[in-house]
Amino acid sequence: PDSPEFERTVAHIKNIVIKPNFINITDAACSIVGRLKKRDSVWTLHSSGANRFYMQAVDDRAMNEWVRALRLACFEAAKLYEYYSSALINERYLSVLTTPRPAAYQVQVRFSGTNEWAPCSMELSEAPVQLTFFSQENRSQLAAMRNPRNVYAIYPDSLESVNTAVIAKLEGDCDVDASLYPKIEESEDEPPVATSRTHGSYALVLFQSPDEMVAALAETADRAKLYRMPGAFLPDVAPDRENLYLSIADVADKSVEIMEPVTARRMMDNLASERCRRLGASVHSAGNSTSESTAASEPMGGGAMGATAQMRMPWDSDDDGADEASALPAARSGKRETA
């Protein structure tokens, strides 16, 4: 180790290895810690997998702002994925809403807090609604997800990959086999984290084909009564071009940073529904036609979706004469605005 050759090799490796300068927070969980080992204003971030980071803010106010902003960013990303999934199903897989769908799938799954993809069978059941994951080797139960709350496809790295994308995210209450979690040495001085290692909050599922992914999303949403199923797969609210769903000001005094993650998500869902309905009402109130006034008075589908009917997905045509097939899911619900 003390030889010149060794030192030159180490120096060469340091020059060619690029250190990461960002943290992917797409599936992150964050929470307030407070004081930790003589440090104040500490908060923790769990990125996708089992990576845990402790951050120290300049003061408690900044600590709260960091956690609030990150939770809002993750919420906005999830809502956009839901909107993308709605457009994908309604524009490219509309028949899946009216044809029989299987209740079992051969998949690979990775749960929150885990690093590895596990091959398994995913089966849906009712009364209560539950997704159960069984090992393909010995049929032992790896995990069970109760109360699925949000299910959506993950937008791929590029537009060209939309037709072949097969990864979806299912959110709910997960009981996961502890053997799936990586071995991490826990310190007695470390505070409990927001998401338990035995009770996860989501599952990333890799399907064998896009058709199976879409069918599983529709079947799960149907059984859990999500997204206005059966017969439609539509988000409750639509984003605004300027501010998406919520701004920092919308959640500044709601204490979402100190809530349990699930409670914070529900709070932001409710706030987004209220805000988008207000946006819809303000747009429709500017018109004088009876149809516009009627649409503004309708819950969810009329106000929120109609107000943003001009928004288009990445694959939509920019031509003014684009046909009806390229319209947003809102147009298929019969609530599209007229010029």
Ramachandran class of 337: left when φ > 0, alpha when ψ lies in -120 to 50, beta otherwise: beta
What local confidence, expressed as pLDDT, does residue 59 receive? 93
User: 60-69 contacts: CB < 8 A, separation 24 or more?
Assistant: 60/34, 63/32, 63/34, 64/32, 64/257, 64/258, 65/257, 66/30, 67/30, 67/31, 67/32, 67/43, 67/257, 68/248, 68/251, 68/252, 68/256, 68/257, 69/248
Q: Name beta bridge partners: 112.
A: none
Contact 110, 50 (CB under 8 A): no
Identity of residue 154: I
Q: Name beta bridge partners: 120.
A: 107, 135
The rounded distance, in Å, linking the Cα atoms of 291 and 273 is 22
What local confidence, expressed as pLDDT, does residue 103 receive? 93
Q: HSE of 339 in the Cβ direction (CA atoms, 13 Å)?
A: 2
What local confidence, expressed as pLDDT, does residue 238 receive? 76
Give, as one character, the DSSP assignment of residue 207: -
Residue 79 parent element (H or E): helix 60-92
Contact 207, 168 (CB under 8 A): yes
Ramachandran class of 139: left when φ > 0, alpha when ψ lies in -120 to 50, beta otherwise: left
Structural domains of the chain ordered from first start: 88-224 (2.30.29.30), 248-332 (no CATH)
- Expressed in angstroms, the distance from the first to the final Cα of the chain is 75
Task: Going from the first residue of the chain to its last (339 residues), give the mean pLDDT of each consecutive group of 10, the final group possibly shorter.
Answer: 76 73 77 90 79 88 92 90 92 90 93 82 89 88 89 91 93 82 53 47 91 95 90 80 79 89 87 69 42 37 36 48 37 34
Sole residue written with tokens 């799960």? 220
Coil vs helix vs strand at 314 = coil
DSSP secondary structure, 182-202, as one string: ---PPPTTSPPPSS-SSEEEE
Contact 128, 223 (CB under 8 A): no
The pTM for the full model equals 0.72
The rounded distance, in Å, linking the Cα atoms of 323 and 206 is 33
What local confidence, expressed as pLDDT, does residue 277 receive? 61
Sheet holding 52-56, edge to edge: 29-36, 39-46, 52-56
What local confidence, expressed as pLDDT, does residue 49 receive? 57
Residues whose CB is less than 8 angstroms from the CB of residue 325 and which lie 6 or more positions away in sequence, other chains included: 91
Contact 205, 171 (CB under 8 A): no
Residue 206 parent element (H or E): strand 199-206
What local confidence, expressed as pLDDT, does residue 50 receive? 60
